Every structure is written in structure tokens, then in C-alpha cells.
Structure 1
């Protein structure tokens, strides 16, 4: 059995290599750039009007004759003489020898003559060539997670495909003879299986889309064969249940039989002690406890950071904060505790129902209080470390 810190240190050392893929920009939301992107053009690529109005050569004149019109998309570069102006619209090409645009609200127009009521400063209301970015400049750095604005920005540069960190393919393998599919009439001695849909939701919340759900009975050969098949096709295998030391817990033996390297087994924590982590080739395996709250806690603390790291994210861990405890906490277990809690402002309260089987309390939680193994008591008003579950 190892400490929480040691387990996290082992996981943090992986992966050694990263993979990437080329995707269409339109499908890249929340993906992470695998390479720097440099602008192929100036943006804007020509001098643009920043508003609807009139473009002219700046002078002391107050009256100008309208000789042409420039609307967005027009490619004609008009030549203006002294005292002439072009009717212009937002985003339209500003003639080369015009240096100022006045908004239409600041002129009076009679026919083709405009009288300026409020003269703008010279060069006003013109977006310069390359004002946003120049050709060859760094547009977005490697490691940038693409939001809606980033995708729009790159599209505006004419980019259609990009290289991104490849998001992992994940399988969730659930074991247990007692498990029954939700939506059926519950039989005596059975419980509805919830871990697969819970873990699937947790994966989707961090952008993982390629997810396969597998259900296996507590049979050694069935578990071994499904693990073997999955290891060759997935980047991450999450196994729920069958990792403890009961007569029908076959997962560890099946993993070792499939030559998955055991990197650690059992962590000095509560809940989630029987956590197993291993690796074969480029596939990582987390064998999570079967109890739902234990499984979810282990996912948050251990699996989630590795999944985000593989996906190229920089901020892989849930945010930790120091806050004031509103609850007395006793820890005589000698283990690190992860307690479901409610965080509000600068204080946090432990919720009732800390059993590893209880998801109800988890559903009401927005934080986990982390009490290290050497701390035996926390009093009301003491500072505690808190992991925020709401991003």
C-alpha cells in the first residue's frame, strides 16, 4: 500500500509520449493545439472601416462631395481628390488615399454633399492592415485549448484544419453478478448498475467522446478475455469492481495474466483503498473500487488528471483551496480522507453520509475535503484543504 502523494507522483510521470491528429477546425471545440499556429495573412488584410460613415482625406474642409460608395466585399480602390468623400460601410475597403472615416451621425447630408458637424481626429475609425495580427506572427500557441472565440479567430485567418492532441479512446468495464441494468424490474438480491453511466458522464465532462461500455459477469475467463481485447484498442481502460480481495474479485489476476504492469495497488486513503493502476504498451488501466462513491473519488483524484494530460491540457487537476472548516473532523484511521462536502465562500462543511456506497451525498457536494493521513483532528475554525468539484 502506498501513500496518496506517491500514487499521484507515479501517475504524473506518464505519459512519456503524446499523439496528435489532424481535424477540421469546425470539429475542434475544446481540443488542444499540438503545434503553434502562425498567421498566413494580415488581419485585417486591408484597411477597413470600423463603422458606417464617410471616408475622406483629412483637411480643414467641412464640406465634401460624395463621389463613390464602398460596401463590405467591394474590391475597388477608389482615388479621392481634395474635397471628395466615399460613402462607406463597416468592414469595407478604405481607399488608399483616404485617411479618416467619420461616422454618419456626425454629418448632415443633402444630396451628394455632406456637411461635417463634428470633425473626428485624423486617422479615426480605420482598422489598419494587420491591426489584429500580421502575417507570420504567432496566432495561437501549442497547448491552447480551443474555445468558440479561438475557432472563430483561426477561421478568420482562412485556416480549415489543425493538429490537436488526440483525445483518448476509453473503455469502461464493469464487473459484478449483482448488477442489473436500469429500466428493468429489480430482482431480489440485485442492485441497479450505475457506475458505467456515472463514469461516462465524468468522461464527457472533460471532453472525452470515444467511450465504450462493457459489462462482464464475475467470471475469471470472461474478465481476462475482455481485458485482453480492450487493451489492444483503447488508450485508457477503467474497470469498476472486482479489484478487492474477495473470492469473486478476479480483476487483478486477470490484468497480471494479460501482462499489464502493476504500477501500484492499494492506496492509503478512504474511500478508495483498493485502487489499482497499471500500464501495457501505450494503454493505461485504472481498476476502480466497485462502490460508487469510491469509484468517483478515485476518478477525480487519479484518472481525470491523466486523461486531461493525454488530451494536452495544462491544468489537469481540480482546483485546491484553503478554507475554514465548519465541522469537527476526527481521523483515527491513519489514512488520507476525502470527505464529501459543501463549500460556500471561505468555509466548508462536511455532509452527512460518507459511506463509499452513497452517491446521494455526492450529488449534493461541490467539494471534497482532503485530510492527510497524519492529521488526527480538525476543529471548527481550522484551515483545511478543499478540492473544488464545480469548475
Structure 2
């Protein structure tokens, strides 16, 4: 049994970027990481652009100007201004080449085809220069950039329609257990509704991983070996729930051993989620999570999340951790570090009742996990504690 810090270290060390390139439509590339530099095909802005509503001037020494026309956003015509002439102009419109400043309309007194400005202004004032954001051929975004909504908008503003990004992993979710039945079926004595696969599927979808297949295997050794061999051979990441403990019908560990999966660790000194397995076979990463739902989800956020980030070549490997003041009292039983379901709000965190690893009701209300190390036995109201922020 290893420590949490050692387990996290091994997950980080053994995870690798997938390094597989895929082409995505820009508008569908949100959350992906750029596989290569993107070079701007145009200047942005592609013309000298007015930064505000006002008047474009060909400046001279006097404060009065002759008004000779108007330029709206989208107009393509060029007006030729002589010294002492001006045109009405609007935000985003192309400034005529012969104009050398834009005076905001609040500082102008119009009078028919004449205007008077309140004061002189500097050359090029209120004009966005050609290529102010980026010039043709310059790097618009570097390889490794995460495509946020702002990045998507920026790329589309450059006329870019497709991007090369790091491909996301193929993921298999495997659940084990004779007692499990699908929701919607009649619940007979001794059976329970299987929730882990849909819970983890939802967590993956929430993180924008959609290439996921679900697999169910009964508590049968030969079938477990066969199913695991298939998913390991055909996926980048395999997540198994249940069957990893030491019961007579827990066949996952034996099956992984027969399939020559390289074990990195089995069992972590933590609560919930002690019977956690992590290994790999060639380039496939494999996690066997505990069958108890709250334990499985905790392990997903603490460990599997890191592997997903590594596969996508991201730098922020772990979920954000912050310090917050406890708004409740809690007594930790046992000597293992614990991840406690909690609600974080306005710098305070409430540790919830019902921390049992088989219970999801408390987790359903949580937006955070409090990390209580083994050195802490009592958390008092007002204590500063470490909190892991969960994805929302």
C-alpha cells in the first residue's frame, strides 16, 4: 500500500501525451489543445480601423473641417480627404488612407457640412493600425494552447476554419458484478441498479471526452479476461469499476496479471478508495477503481483526471486546490488520509454528513473534496483546510 503522494507521482510519471493529430472544425474544437502553431493568414485588423464613432480627419492647424462624406462599418469605398477635410465614421469602419486621426463625436460640434473640433489631437489617435493584433505570417496561437471560447472567436476572426489538435483518447468503461442490473428493469431481491458506468460517463462528458464505450462483465474469470483483453487492445484508457478487491469473485486483479498489465500500484493509503489499481500495457493506461460509487468517483477526480490531462498534453494536471475555512466540525476516524465530500462557497467549506464510500447522496450535493491528511483527526469550525475544487 502506497501513499497518496506516491500514487499521484506514479500517475504523472507514467502518463504520456497521445501525440495523435486530428483535424477539427474550429467551432467544434473547444477544449482541445493545438497540435501545431497556427500562423495568421491575414492582418488583424485587415485595414486601419476606427476605434470609435466620430470623425476621421486629414489634420491641419485649424479646428474647423469640411465634411465630405460618411464611412460605415463594412463600406468598401475609399474617400480621398484633402487637408482640412473630414468624414463621418463609425466604430469598426475602415479609416481612409488619407485620414490621420479620428476625433470622437463627443468632442465635435457639427454644423451642416462643417465641423469644429474642441481641441487638436495626436496623429493616428483612435485608429487601430493595420495588423495591430497580428500580422500576416505571424504566429496567431502557439502549439499547446488550449482552445477556449475566446481562442475560437479569435481564430474565426482570422478566417481560419479548421485546426490541427491533439486527438482525445478512446476510453472504455468496464463494470463488473453479478448483482448489477440496468435502471428501468425490475429490481429483484439481491440486485442493485448499476450507476458507476453512467456516473463516470457523465464525468467524462462533462470534461468533453466523448469517445467512450461501455462494457459489462459478469463475475466470471474467463469472461473478465476476454473483455479486458479486448478493451485494452482497442483503447487508450481503460477504467474498470468493481472486482478489484480480494473477494472470491473479484477477478479483475487476476485477469490484469494474466494479460501482462504492468502494475504501477495497487492499494493506496486513503479513504475512500483504498483498493485502487493503476497500471499500463504498452500505451494503454488502466485504472481499476473500487466498486463503491463515491470511492470510484473520488478516485476518478484525484487520479484518472491527471491521466486525461497528460494525454491531452496539458500542463494543469490536477484539479485546482485552494485553502478555505471550515464552517463545520468533523472528526476523522482511522489513520488514513481522507477525501471528504463538501460544499465550497465564498471562501468557506462545509463538510457534509454521510461520508460512506457507498453513498452518492452526499456527493450529489458536493462541489469540492476536503483533503484531510493522516495527521489531522479533528477539524474544527474556523480551521483552514485544503480543498479540491470539482468540475462543475
TM-score by length of 1: 0.91
- Aligned residue for 2:183? 182
User: CA shift at 1:337, angstroms?
Assistant: 1.4
1:115 is paired with a residue whose SS is: strand
How many angstroms apart in 2 are the aligned matches of 1:237 and 1:249?
Answer: 17
CA 1:124–1:294 in structure 2 vs 1: closer, same or farther (change >3 Å)? Answer: same
- Aligned residue for 2:305? 304
Structure 1: any 5+ residue segments left out of the alignment?
Answer: none
- Aligned residue for 2:257? 256
Q: Confirm or deny that 1:116 pairs with 2:106.
A: no
2:14 is paired with a residue whose SS is: coil
**1:62-112 Cα shifts (integer Å, max 9, x gaps):** 4444444434344443322233333433323222221122345634252xx
CA 1:104–1:288 in structure 2 vs 1: closer, same or farther (change >3 Å)? Answer: same
**1:30-69 Cα shifts (integer Å, max 9, x gaps):** 1122333333332112211223443221124444444444
Query: In the TM superposition, what are the counterparts of 1:97-116 in structure 2 within 5 Å?
Result: 97-104=98-105, 106-110=108-112, 113-116=113-116
User: CA shift at 1:302, angstroms?
Assistant: 0.5
User: CA shift at 1:120, angstroms?
Assistant: 5.9
User: CA shift at 1:13, angstroms?
Assistant: 0.5
- Aligned residue for 1:6? 6
How many angstroms apart in 1 are the aligned matches of 2:332 and 2:28?
Answer: 49
1:13 is paired with a residue whose SS is: helix
How many angstroms apart in 1 are the aligned matches of 2:36 and 2:222?
Answer: 44
How many angstroms apart in 2 are the aligned matches of 1:289 and 1:192?
Answer: 16
- Aligned residue for 1:32? 33
How many angstroms apart in 2 are the aligned matches of 1:48 and 1:99?
Answer: 11
Structure 2: any 5+ residue segments left out of the alignment?
Answer: none
- Aligned residue for 1:327? 329
How many angstroms apart in 2 are the aligned matches of 1:350 and 1:73?
Answer: 57
CA 1:80–1:216 in structure 2 vs 1: closer, same or farther (change >3 Å)? Answer: same
CA 1:100–1:193 in structure 2 vs 1: closer, same or farther (change >3 Å)? Answer: same
- Aligned residue for 1:271? 272
**1:283-306 Cα shifts (integer Å, max 9, x gaps):** 111111111011001101110111
How many angstroms apart in 1 are the aligned matches of 2:120 and 2:280?
Answer: 67
TM-score by length of 2: 0.91
Q: Contact (CA 8 Å) 2:219, 2:249: kept in 1 or not?
A: yes
**1:312-370 Cα shifts (integer Å, max 9, x gaps):** 33222122223344314234x33221122233444433322111110001112222222
How many angstroms apart in 2 are the aligned matches of 1:156 and 1:357?
Answer: 49
Q: Contact (CA 8 Å) 1:206, 1:308: kept in 2 or not?
A: no
**1:109-166 Cα shifts (integer Å, max 9, x gaps):** 52xx132253562333321112222334443233322122111111222222222222
CA RMSD of aligned residues (A): 2.2
- Aligned residue for 2:373? 372
How many angstroms apart in 2 are the aligned matches of 1:142 and 1:74?
Answer: 36
- Aligned residue for 2:222? 221
Q: Report the more deviating stretch, 141-150 or 77-86.
A: 77-86
Q: Contact (CA 8 Å) 2:31, 2:146: kept in 1 or not?
A: yes
2:353 is paired with a residue whose SS is: coil
CA 1:347–1:54 in structure 2 vs 1: closer, same or farther (change >3 Å)? Answer: closer
How many angstroms apart in 2 are the aligned matches of 1:253 and 1:387?
Answer: 33
Query: In the TM superposition, what are the counterparts of 1:240-251 in structure 2 within 5 Å?
Result: 240-251=241-252
CA 1:115–1:13 in structure 2 vs 1: closer, same or farther (change >3 Å)? Answer: same
Query: In the TM superposition, what are the counterparts of 1:1-391 in structure 2 within 5 Å?
Result: 1-19=1-19, 20-104=21-105, 106-110=108-112, 113-116=113-116, 118-119=118-119, 121-122=121-122, 123-325=124-326, 326-331=328-333, 333-389=334-390
CA 1:161–1:358 in structure 2 vs 1: closer, same or farther (change >3 Å)? Answer: same
1:45 is paired with a residue whose SS is: coil
1:269 is paired with a residue whose SS is: coil
